[in-house]
Structure 1
Amino acid sequence: MRLLPATADPTALDRAAAYPADGPVAALSSEKIREELDANQFRREWIWLAEDEDGQVLARALWWGRADSERPIALDCLQVRSTVADPVAVATRLLDAGHAAFGTRPLYNLSLPPDWSTQSELTQAVSWRREASSRTGLSREIQRLRYEWTPAAGLPETSGRLTFREGSDEEFLEAFVRVSAGSLDQATLDELRKKDARQLAEEDMRFYLDCPGERSWWRLTELPDGTPAGLAVPSATPYNRNVGYLGVVPEQRGKGLIDEILAEITRFHAAEGAERITATTDTTNIPMAAAFDRAGYEVSEIRMVLEAPRSA
């Protein structure tokens, strides 16, 4: 078996794009792959193939990054031909080759329908992907709910219990610090085990400043008497408007204020003409998921994130 990137020869990219994907996990079309290449979110060197001695494609792996990324951020597509006897072995070797070339192990985002665990063919397809990912070092798993809002859902109501205002970077940094305390977000909990809340807040701010959304969208939230309540950070992805980041300070939790903040973000994006607003939350973050449900967001997929264990 030969492992090669799409830079290996002039026709390798064509073979990768034309790969006749089979199996129950949704595959990227040739048109979508070339669209992502044109956007510089796929790169030829981030597309890897496994081929037999006759040049038949046995598997492909496509990694994704932002247009300005130096290295890939996530594995976006992993497929092995259904006729391969040991898909785990082939996928493991393919991922190892890519990771060695990148000098890093990007996480794997596996998008699945909400009812995937009830479909035997899908559970088998997920099983070999999990095992291959684990063998190549991506042994930590988080499942996230991907939500979508569309105008058909209507705008969530707001009671006016909060006010929203612009704020300085220092004020937002303090708000990020405060809302991280007692968070149910798994990534936040993991990060707080190895760094202090201010360091994490600085990283979170840099992340959202680098997203396609605008800094001018951000709002601090307060009670009518000026008491801090939390923050709203509407954002965007390369594809859609996005909820981004929102939170309530610990002393104001349990009062339904998260609904007010989510409603503000939703109404802001809708006023800007958004036809779709996306959001994600961990399956274990039950209060946040319930807030999305109440606001008219619907689960569009389960996103299984497989990544390298986070060092303490």
Structure 2
Amino acid sequence: MPDAPLDLSIRPLSGPEELNLFLELPYVLDHELADDLATGRRRPEWMWVALRGDRVVARIAWWSRDGEAPLLLDFFDLDDTLPLAEREEAGLRLVETATAAVVPAGAPRPEYGRYVPADWREDPAVREAVEARVRVMERTGARLLVERLRLEWRAGTPVPADSGRLRFRPADGREDLLALMTPVMEGTLDAHGQQDLASGLSPREAAEKHYDEELAGYSTPREWWRVAELPDGEPVGFVVPARNSYNPIVAYIGVLPAHRGHGYIDDILAEGTRVLAVQEDVARIRASTDLGNVPMAKAFARLGYINFERSFDMVWDD
């Protein structure tokens, strides 16, 4: 660390008119910021900068679905031309100052999510930049929960026809889907699900939390959601195609424990992909899965989804 603290001015944006100031540092989600501000998913008071003179040396921002409360910390950038110790000091001071102002006292700190190149470990400069941000967050008490693969199906990629092994019907409301999500939570390979179970939630409670905090927020038709059954009507699994604020997505997919090991995941993922790619004629579909969930990653790869990016999810336990 430098012998003397950096001379920094740390403050939120005064309004949307200062967006260009925030854009002085780059990130892959920059193109979403103007619309997020216009629709209320972001507020200027949730977007902070650390200035050294008139130069932005670090920035941070939170996101929300409805603008009521920050749900996710998804922007944290440093000026990577600065010496490593200086950029980390600037970042640490910014995180601590902005968090104290944005996150209500006593409230849990929103998860930090960061997108990184799929090959980020192979480029020394990119790796240093990623690891610097992780170190700053760790110094504030965060820990890495999971690294995830970000996946994309693109128009022109073949979509397999229905194999006929399963039949599909629309999910019949919240309870219908929760009855299937609950057993899927048992023995889940998903790090967020594992964290919920480790916190003391039952599989049913963890399923309800996931439904209410994520799935219930999608405005796209529930008729897109599919339950997979054997010809005799026994449920095998489900898939939730949807559209979030930015992209068509495969939001959630699962195979019931009793039916794993038979390759049904391919049939179910293909159905979810058909809903969006064929029925809705979208140009691309986004999805993600934990790096450690190898069976799910292989299923996406077999269907032609490419790993175009990765992401880090970091959490605070206090």
TM > 0.5 between the two?
A: yes
Cα displacement string for residues 69-104 of structure 1 (whole angstroms, at most 9, x for unaligned residues): 422422234223523552111101111112111225
Q: Distance in 1 between matches of 2:196 and 2:208?
A: 12
Q: Where does residue 57 of structure 1 map in the other structure? A: 56
Q: Where does residue 295 of structure 1 map in the other structure? A: 303
Q: Distance in 2 between matches of 1:199 and 1:273?
A: 35
SS of equivalent residue, structure 2 residue 297: helix
Q: Distance in 2 between matches of 1:304 and 1:151?
A: 27
Asked if residue 192 in structure 1 is aligned to residue 191 in structure 2, the reply is: no
SS of equivalent residue, structure 1 residue 261: helix
Q: 2:177 aligns with which of 156, 172, 175?
A: 172
Q: Distance in 1 between matches of 2:188 and 2:307?
A: 22
Q: Where does residue 307 of structure 1 map in the other structure? A: 315
Q: Distance in 1 between matches of 2:173 and 2:219?
A: 20
Q: Distance in 2 between matches of 1:232 and 1:307?
A: 27
Identity %: 34
Q: Distance in 2 between matches of 1:10 and 1:191?
A: 36
Counterpart code for 1:173? L
Matches within 5 A, 1:277-292: 277-292=285-300
Q: 2:224 aligns with which of 198, 201, 217?
A: 217
Q: Distance in 1 between matches of 2:174 and 2:12?
A: 42
Q: Distance in 1 between matches of 2:240 and 2:43?
A: 30
Matches within 5 A, 1:125-164: 125-164=129-168
Aligned length: 302
Q: 2:120 aligns with which of 113, 116, 139?
A: 116
Task: Report how far residue 197 of structure 1 moved.
Answer: 1.0
* Cα contact 1:141–1:306 (8 A) shared by 2: yes
For structure 2, the 5+ residue unaligned runs are 1-7
Counterpart code for 1:91? G
Q: Where does residue 260 of structure 1 map in the other structure? A: 267
TM-score by length of 2: 0.88
Q: Distance in 1 between matches of 2:165 and 2:306?
A: 25
Q: 1:234 aligns with which of 236, 241, 256?
A: 241
Q: Where does residue 79 of structure 1 map in the other structure? A: 78
Task: Report how far residue 64 of structure 1 moved.
Answer: 2.1
The change in CA–CA distance for 1:113 and 1:13 in structure 2 (over 3 A counts) is: closer
* Cα contact 1:61–1:79 (8 A) shared by 2: no
Counterpart code for 1:15? L
Matches within 5 A, 1:93-104: 93-103=93-103, 104=108
* Cα contact 1:242–1:277 (8 A) shared by 2: yes
Counterpart code for 1:134? E
Runs of 4+ in 1 over 3 A off after TM superposition: 9-14, 26-29
Q: Distance in 1 between matches of 2:294 and 2:147?
A: 13
Counterpart code for 1:62? A
Task: Report how far residue 124 of structure 1 moved.
Answer: 0.6
Q: Distance in 2 between matches of 1:66 and 1:200?
A: 21
Q: Distance in 1 between matches of 2:271 and 2:224?
A: 11
Q: Distance in 2 between matches of 1:56 and 1:276?
A: 37
Matches within 5 A, 1:33-48: 33-48=33-48
Cα displacement string for residues 26-76 of structure 1 (whole angstroms, at most 9, x for unaligned residues): 4555x6432332232221011101123x34322211222224442242223
Q: Distance in 1 between matches of 2:270 and 2:207?
A: 23
Task: Report how far residue 184 of structure 1 moved.
Answer: 0.9
Q: Distance in 2 between matches of 1:251 and 1:302?
A: 31
* Cα contact 1:144–1:283 (8 A) shared by 2: yes
* Cα contact 1:140–1:308 (8 A) shared by 2: no
Counterpart code for 2:272? I
The change in CA–CA distance for 1:177 and 1:43 in structure 2 (over 3 A counts) is: same
Q: CA RMSD in A?
A: 2.1
The change in CA–CA distance for 1:155 and 1:69 in structure 2 (over 3 A counts) is: farther
Counterpart code for 2:34? R
